[in-house]
Amino acid sequence: MNIFVGSLPFALGEADLKESFEAYGTVDSVKIIMDKFTGRSKGFGFVEMPDDEEGQAAINALNGATVMGRAIVVNKSEPKPEGDRRSGGGDRGGYGGGGGNRGGGGYGGGDRGGYGGGGNRGGY
């Protein structure tokens, strides 16, 4: 069972989180999600427990529990539905994106102008 754990204290490490869940059964893996730019915890993570009954017992016991002064959120992690991924930029260009029949290119291209955006709105 894959378990979502949210509202984690930023100072909490994976070993500490694993220890909390091991009181309820076997833990296969623990992953706290880190910000790729700062290297700091994003305050949530996932715990994988092979036995569903043990996982449910951990959810029941730990959801709302206080860890390092914060009430954590613990629930079953559901897989994301397909096609629900965010796409970057959409149809508005982005860095160097083209823009329909108005020219384009440059930073912030598309039909909005921007730096070197071209088109009949200009830019800088």
Query: So what's the pLDDT on residue 36?
Result: 95
* pLDDT score for 90: 53
With tokens 């390092």, the residue in question is: 68
Cβ within 8 Å of residue 1, ≥6 positions away: 48, 49, 50, 51, 52, 55, 56, 76
Name the band, by pLDDT with cuts 50, 70 and 90, for residue 81.
confident
Alpha carbons within 13 A on the beta-carbon side of 68: 11
Q: Would you state the pLDDT for residue 14?
A: 98
Model confidence at 93: pLDDT above 60: no
Q: What is the pLDDT of residue 27?
A: 98
Distance CA(4)–CA(78), nearest Å, equals 9
Q: Which domains does the chain have, with CATH numbers?
A: 2-76 (3.30.70.330), 92-119 (no CATH)
Model pTM?
0.66
Contact 65, 21 (CB under 8 A): no
